[in-house]
Amino acid sequence: MVADRQDDGVVARAGISGAAVGDDAVAQIAPLQSASLAVLSGLSLPVQVRIGRATLTVGELLRMGAGTIVTLEQRVDEPVEVLIGEQVVAQGDLVAVGDEMGVRITRIVGGTKGEQ
């Protein structure tokens, strides 16, 4: 924490370095972090699943119509990517969930929990 104080045009800065933070300060911060996470855990984020990529010429795009099959660079048995925004957060396998599609998460990417 840094505080600024100004007396007669003189600015003094006081702070606490990471090395000076004791167990009491950490104990006070932990509930704040938990409360912040509790607030954030209720937020909804749009999630996208990327099943593959393809590169097409403009001519191929112009000839595209109903029934056209676009071959993707990924193999059928490769995992799909789960994204939040443009950030890949997980990988998984496509599964059927009743009449809908789903993703069985097989790996968390870059998270604090490591690979799952």
- What global pTM score does this model have? 0.58
**What per-residue confidence (pLDDT) applies to 53?**
93
Q: Are residues 70 and 36 in the same domain?
A: no
In this predicted model, what pLDDT tens digit does every residue of 65-111 receive, in sequence order? 999 999 999 999 999 999 999 999 999 999 999 999 999 999 999 75
Residue 2 has pLDDT above 50, yes or no: no
| Residue 114 belongs to domain with CATH number | 2.30.330.10
In this predicted model, what pLDDT tens digit does every residue of 23-54 receive, in sequence order? 565 565 666 667 777 778 888 889 999 999 99
Q: For 70-105, what is the HEC assignment?
A: CCCCCCCCCCEEEEECCEEEEEEEEEEECCEEEEEE
Contact 75, 93 (CB under 8 A): no
Q: Are residues 13 and 33 in the same domain?
A: yes
Q: Taking residues 5-24, report their average pLDDT.
A: 46
